[in-house]
Structure 1
Amino acid sequence: MNAPATTDLPVVVIGAGPSGLAAAAHLVDRGLEPLVLEAGPAAGSAVREWSHVRLFSAWGEVVDPAAEKLLAPTGWVKPEPGGYPTGGDWAEQYLQPLAAVLGDRVRLGARVTGVSRQGRDRVVDADREQQAFTVHVAHADGTEQRLTARAVIDASGTWSTPSPIGGDGLPALGERTAADRISYRVPDLEDPAIRARYAGKRTAVIGSGASAFTALAYLADLAEETDGTHTTWILRRGISGSTFGGGEADQLPARGALGLAAKAAVDHGYADAVTGFRTTAVERDGEQLVLVAEDGRRLDPVDEVIVLTGFRPDLSFLAELRLDLDERLQAPVGLAPLIDPNQHSCGTVYPHGVNELSHPEQDVYLVGMKSYGRAPTFLAMTGYEQVRSIAAALAGDREAAERVELTLPETGVCGGAGLFDQPEAAGENSGGGCCAAPATFTLGAPATSSGGY
C-alpha cells in the first residue's frame, strides 16, 4: 500500500510563545504552512505570567527578523531597540500582534496531549518515516481532536514544570503539604495581595540564578519600605567571586546590573546568605515553616518560601516518538555538549540549528527553552536561530539550514546559569565555574571577578 502524502499537511508548532511564533513566521517566509497550537487563552500565555519581570535582553535582541518582516506591512512599529521590555511588554507589543498577523494559523486553548506517527507507536519500524504525524489536542471547551502534520516543532517551553525544593531533584519531605506557603515564581510586588503576602514577613529564597537575584532585589526594595521584611537566601553551593555574575563586565548590561542588585541586598543587610544548604524537608512550626538540610541543619522559621531552582521539560506527550535526549539534561544529544553546565566553564552557548536538534524520529524538533532541557543558558536570539535553521531544512534548503546567521553578544559571565530570557530558567542544578579561576569573595566586599554563576 502506498504511504499517504504528507507534503500538503501543515507543520504543527506547539506553543505560541516567542520561539513558537518565530517558527511560524519562518515557515510562512519559506512558503510552508504552520499550525500553532497554544494551550493558553492568548499568545504568549506563559510570558504573561511573568509580565512584571523585565528582560535583560533589549528589544533589538528579542524580535525575530522573519517575524518583523511579517509584521512590517501591517504598520507595526518596532519598539526602540535599546529599551528593555517587561514580559508584559513583550507579549502585548510583539507576540500578540504577531499572532494576529498569523491569524487562523494560531489556535488558542488547544493543549497537545500526544504526538505519534499515524498508525505507528514507537515500537513499529515499518514505513515509519513515510507516515504523517498524528497530534492529539484537547480544546478548552472540552472537545478533543486529532490533527495530522508533516512535521512537529515543540516550542512549549518549561514554564509549567518548575523544579522542586529538594536538593536531589525530588520534592522535599513536607513540600507538598506546605504548598500554601511556597511559591515557584518571582513575586509581583505591585499586586497588593501579593505584596501583603511578603510585607513584614520573613521569606526564604532558594536559588542562585537570575530569578533568585530578581526576587532578592524586589524583596530588598520592600524591606526598605516595611519593617520586619527580611530574606534568607539559600544556596546549595558556596559564594565566590562568580556568584553575582559579570557586573559591569557583562555585555548584557541589564543582566550585570541584576547581579549587582542582588549583591547589594546582601551587603545592606536585607538578606542573609546561607550556603551549602541542600533542603531535604519542610516542617511546620505553627504558622511558619522550617527548612531542614540533608546535613541536619535547621534554619530559623520563615513565613514564606520562594523556590527558584529552575525548570524541566514535560516530555510526557512525546512518549510515542523516538527522541534522542541526553540522560542528564534531557536536551537533544547533539545540543547537550554545547550547553551542559557540568562541563562548560564559559557561559557562551554557540549558535546551533537543525543538526544539533535532530532526533531519530525525522522531522520532529524541540526548540526554544524546551530544547535546553534542564540547562539554564537560553537566550531568545538562540531560539530564533534554531527555528530559522529548522524552517530552512523543512523547505529543503540544507545550505541555509546549516549556515550560522547569529552572532551572540559576549556574555561577560562564565559559568552555568544566567543566559536566559525566561524568568526562573536558571536553577541550582546548573554548574558553576568560570573561564578563569574565581577570586575569593567576601560578603560586603566589592566583586572581584567577572565570572558567572
Structure 2
Amino acid sequence: MTLIDLTVPTLQRRGLDTLPVAIIGAGPVGLAAAANLVERGIDFVIYEAGDEIASSIRQWGHTRLFSPWQHVIDPASSRLLEAAGWQALAPEALPTGTELVEQYLEPLAALDEIAGRIRTGVKVEAVTRQGMDRTRTARRAATPFLLRARTADGVEEYTARAVIDTSGTYAHPNSLGSSGLDPLGLADVADRVSHALPDVLGRERARFAGRHTTVVGAGHSAANTLLALAELAEQEPGTRITWLIRNVSAVRVTTSDDDGLAARASIGRRVDALVAAGRITVIDRFEIVRLGRTDDGVRLVGARDGELVEHDTDLVVSATGFRPDLDMLREIRLELDDIVEAPKRLAPLIDPNVHTCGTVEPHGFAELTHPEPGFFLAGMKSYGRAPTFLLATGYEQVRSITAWLAGDLAAATNVELVLPETGVCSTSLAAEASSCGTNDASSCCS
C-alpha cells in the first residue's frame, strides 16, 4: 500500500489557491460539498452531465425514500438554506425522489452562493494533471488538475486545485451477464431492456401493462420492481412477472424474521408471499449467456445446472446493481480495493458481506485519500460496487474533505455519524413497507 502524507492539508503552499475546487456531479452529495465549501470560503465549480441538477434522481423520482427528511438533508446545506429563508421540512415525512429534488436540492442549487458556480450539460470524460500523465511525479502535487469535458459546443477543458468526484453510479449499471460483461446480443434487444427502477405504475405504465416482464437481480431494486409489477398485474389483465436470479435464493431480499431491519424483512416477506401465491414465477441458478430477439420480445439463453436453457419474455428489467465509471480516471493515481473498487482504506468498512447501510463506520478524508493529492471520490462512487451507501454517510465524507482542503486538520479527522438503525436508503414502496439493508436502490442517492 502506498504511504500517503495526511498531515499537509493546505493547498495554498502549492500555488493552486487561485483555482477553484472542481465538483463532478450536482446530486445531493455534490451540492453538499458545495455548501461546505461556501462555509469555508473556498471557490468551486460544479460540473453536471445532465441538463438539470440531480439528473439521476429525476429518473427515479417516483421512488419513495426509506428515511425521513431529517436524515437526508446535509447540515451545511440546511444552514445556508435557512439563512436564506427556506422553511425546514417535516422531519418525519418520507419524501419521494421528486420531492427531494423539488423541495430541497433545487432551492439549494438556486442559492446565490451556489447557482453561479453550476455548469449543467457538462459531462466530464477525463481527469488528469495539466501537462502530466499518471507516470510523471516531479512537482505533481503543485500542478493543477485538468478536466476534459464534453458540452453542447464540443470538448472543453477546465483546471482546478482539487477534484471531488461525486458523479455516482446510477448511469453505469452492472451487466446482465454473470461474467461481468454484457451478454452477447444485448445490442440487438436494447430497446426491450429497462434500467433498474422503471416507473411501472406511472409514466412507463403502458410499456409494462399486459406484458410479461422478467426482472433480473437479487437485491431490493429488483424487489421494489417486482412489487410494483404485482400491483400493476392486479389492475391490468395479462401482466405476468418472472424473477430471474443467478443464485439458489435471493438472500439479500428474502430475510428471516429476526432480521435487525424490520422493514427489510417486511419487503422480503411480501415478495415471498407473491411467489408462494404463484403471482411471481422464480427461475433460480440462471447464468445469462446471451440474449436474442424474438417476434414479441427477448429470449434469454443461460446456463442452469450445467445445461443451456432458454427463457422467453416481452421485457427485461436489469436490476443487477451499479458500478463506478473508472475509465475517466485512468490518468489519476488511484488506490482501490481489488474486489469492491472502493478506496482501499474504505473498503473494509463497507464490505457488503459484513455491513448493511446502518453499520458502516464514520469515515472521512483519510479513508478517501488516494496517492493523487487533492483528488477524492465521494458519495456512492466512493463505495465502488458495494450497495450499502447512504446519504448521511456521503454528507460526512464531503464535510471532512472540505475541512481538509481548508487546512482544518482537526475538523477533518473528527468524523462522526449517527445512523438510524435501518440506515438511509430508498425504496419505491409505500412508507410502511419500505426497506433498506443491502439495497441496490440506495446507490441512486449519489
Q: 1:131 aligns to what?
A: 143
Q: Deviations over 1:238-296 (max 9, x none)?
A: 2277633477955584x554444433432332211222222112233432322222233
Q: 1:91 aligns to what?
A: 101
In 2, the alpha carbon distance for the partners of 1:233 and 1:251 equals 23
| Aligned-pair CA distance for 1:183 | 0.9
Q: Which residue, out of 302, 317, 321, partners 1:310?
A: 321
| Aligned-pair CA distance for 1:153 | 0.1
In 1, the alpha carbon distance for the partners of 2:108 and 2:249 equals 42
One-letter code of the match for 2:118? V
- Identity %, equivalent residues: 45
In 2, the alpha carbon distance for the partners of 1:273 and 1:321 equals 43
Q: 2:10 aligns to what?
A: none
Q: 1:112 aligns to what?
A: 124
One-letter code of the match for 1:131? T
| Aligned-pair CA distance for 1:5 | 1.7
Q: 1:280 aligns to what?
A: 289
Structure number with greater CO (CA < 8 Å, separation at least 6) is: 2
TM-score normalised by the chain length of structure 2: 0.88
Q: Which residue, out of 10, 19, 24, partners 2:34?
A: 24
Q: Deviations over 1:33-68 (max 9, x none)?
A: 121111111111111011111111221111000000
In 2, the alpha carbon distance for the partners of 1:419 and 1:64 equals 22
Q: Which residue, out of 71, 91, 111, partners 2:81?
A: 71
Q: Which residue, out of 387, 409, 413, partners 1:402?
A: 413
* 3-state secondary structure, aligned to 2:438: coil
The answer to whether the 8 A contact 1:377-1:420 is kept is no
Q: 1:171 aligns to what?
A: 182
Question: Please, which moves more after superposition, 255-264 or 108-117?
Answer: 255-264
Q: Deviations over 1:218-243 (max 9, x none)?
A: 10001111222111101122227763
Q: Deviations over 1:95-144 (max 9, x none)?
A: 1111111111111112212221122111111111111112223223x144
One-letter code of the match for 2:51? P
* 3-state secondary structure, aligned to 1:66: helix
Q: Which residue, out of 142, 165, 168, partners 1:154?
A: 165
The answer to whether the 8 A contact 2:291-2:299 is kept is yes
Question: In 2 relative to 1, CA 243–189 (structure 1 residues): closer, same or farther, beyond 3 Å?
Answer: closer
Q: How many residues align?
A: 419
Q: Which residue, out of 266, 280, 298, partners 1:271?
A: 280
Listed as ranges, the gaps of 5+ residues in structure 1 are 426-453
The answer to whether the 8 A contact 1:379-1:419 is kept is no
In 1, the alpha carbon distance for the partners of 2:65 and 2:269 equals 16
Question: In 2 relative to 1, CA 43–287 (structure 1 residues): closer, same or farther, beyond 3 Å?
Answer: same
TM-score normalised by the chain length of structure 1: 0.86
Q: Deviations over 1:355-388 (max 9, x none)?
A: 1100000110000011111111110111001101
Question: Please, which moves more after superposition, 232-241 or 347-356?
Answer: 232-241
The answer to whether the 8 A contact 2:56-2:444 is kept is no
Q: 1:103 aligns to what?
A: 115
* 3-state secondary structure, aligned to 2:442: coil
In 1, the alpha carbon distance for the partners of 2:421 and 2:128 equals 40
The answer to whether the 8 A contact 1:132-1:149 is kept is yes
> Is residue 212 from structure 1 mapped to residue 212 from structure 2 by the alignment?
no
**Alignment RMSD (CA, Å):** 2.5
> Is residue 417 from structure 1 mapped to residue 438 from structure 2 by the alignment?
yes
In 1, the alpha carbon distance for the partners of 2:444 and 2:20 equals 31
The answer to whether the 8 A contact 1:32-1:395 is kept is yes
The ranges of structure 1 where at least 4 consecutive aligned residues each deviate by more than 6 angstroms after the TM superposition are 412-416
The answer to whether the 8 A contact 1:47-1:87 is kept is yes
> Is residue 375 from structure 1 mapped to residue 386 from structure 2 by the alignment?
yes
The answer to whether the 8 A contact 1:209-1:424 is kept is no
Q: Deviations over 1:298-348 (max 9, x none)?
A: 24421111111011111222211111112222211111112223x526662
One-letter code of the match for 2:328? F
The answer to whether the 8 A contact 1:64-1:384 is kept is yes
Listed as ranges, the gaps of 5+ residues in structure 2 are 1-12, 426-434
